[in-house]
A = this chain, B = another copy of it.
Amino acid sequence: MRRALAALLIAVLPVAAPADDLRGTGDLGIVIERTTGSVLIVDTTERAAIVRVEGLGDLSHASAVFSPDQRYAYVFGRDGGLTKLDLLTGTIAARIVQAGNSIGGAISDDGLLVAVSNYEPGGVRVFDAGTLEPVADIPAEWDGGLSKTVGLVDAPGRRFVFTLWDAGETWIADFSGEGAPVVTRIGGIGANPYDGLITGDGRLYIAGLFGEDGLTALDLWQERPAPRRILDGYGRGEEPLPVYKMPHLEGWALAAGRFALPAVGRHEVLWVDAVTLEEAGRTATHGQPVFAVARPGGRQVWVNFAHPRNDTVQVIDTLSGEIVHTLTPGPAVLHMEFTPRGHEVWVSVRDADRVDIYDAATFEKLGEIAAETPSGIFFTARAHRTGL
């Protein structure tokens, strides 16, 4: 059934956009189709798919970043594949398989370097954004061999920051000089950091811990950033709930001076004061949160949930911490992406083969797009934000 639907969609959509059609690229985006290794290029103004591009390999847990001109998407597959996609022609501009098992990537602030975080072999590899030629290889060497790397983000000043799952270290790779990158190793992050985020101002890097009950923050504005434990003992593992899905830290929301943070293994969103980094409240939720994403501006936070409660999205009012709306888009809501100024939000409903589009203020459904097992949704405005 699913395969038949996909075939139908492919038949309906053109294979490439007409090359003589001038158009801006600020309102484009992509939808990852995880089981078919394909990507939909979408138009957020028209609320429509433009074209499907196939042949991107294993796209389970895939993510993407964009070139500064917003013409190209760099799609990071799970199988080590790195694909440069031309959004204007709907074609693959370049593609490499750079490792055996990968988890996300980042693009430098000048748009010239693309970095990929690898599990196998453990480390980070950096490529020329134009050609995908290799620029640098940073094996994540520690006492135990090569560590898996997680939480790779870009930081201002041609830097990449990432964390070693096995070693409990965070590394800063600085490409601002000539020649090889300068790598700063910061130990003492904690046991099994599983993901990381950088705040939009490029100042705070925060690693979530799987092996301990807390998180670790680094102030990248300091000469020598020192690890600071936050939310120590917030209750991860306090209750015997199985952890169905690790939450995504890149989705952490900064809203009205507080971070909204999906708790691991709990039916809660945690609030953290952005200045003191102390806990500032909790909101009970429908299930284990996966993404807690602030509507741009931070007036509300939208939350989706882990299996088996993943048909639902809840909207939390930032000022009160109260849930103000609950939607049930359908089976397996995997991701939410706001238009850059926050007036609309796109929601992928994997097992309904559909992306829903909502008015972010009224919650009215404005449209939907057929997609094959959609997961991540990424709009080109990310090109101009740090850490996305």
- A residues with a Cβ closer than 8 A to B are 19-20, 22-27, 44-45, 66-72, 87-89, 109-111, 156-158, 176, 200-203, 221, 256-257, 274-275, 296-299, 319, 339-344, 361, 380-381, 383-386
Contacts and interface: CB of A to CB of B under 8 A. Distances in A.
Name the 9 nearest CB pairs between A and B, nearest first. Answer: A26-B70, A24-B71, A24-B69, A340-B384, A27-B69, A109-B341, A24-B25, A202-B297, A201-B297
Interface majority SS on A: helix, strand, loop or mixed? loop
Contacts of A69: 23-27, 45
A280 to B, nearest CB: 13
A68 B88 CA distance: 16
A90 to B, nearest CB: 11
Given A22-B22, A24-B88, A296-B386, 15 more contacts: A20-B20, A22-B88, A23-B69, A27-B70, A70-B70, A109-B343, A110-B341, A110-B344, A157-B343, A201-B256, A202-B297, A203-B297, A257-B274, A341-B384, A381-B384
30 contacts: A22-B22, A23-B69, A23-B71, A24-B25, A24-B69, A24-B87, A25-B70, A26-B67, A26-B68, A26-B380, A27-B68, A44-B68, A45-B69, A109-B342, A109-B343, A156-B342, A156-B343, A156-B361, A157-B343, A176-B361, A200-B297, A201-B298, A202-B297, A202-B299, A203-B256, A203-B298, A221-B256, A221-B299, A221-B319, A340-B383
Contact of A25 (B25, B203, B275): B25
Given A109-B341, A340-B384, A68 B45 contact: yes
Task: State how many copies of this chain the complex holds.
Answer: 2
A111 B45 CA distance: 9
Contacts of A341: 68, 109-110, 156, 384-386
Contacts of A201: 256, 297-299
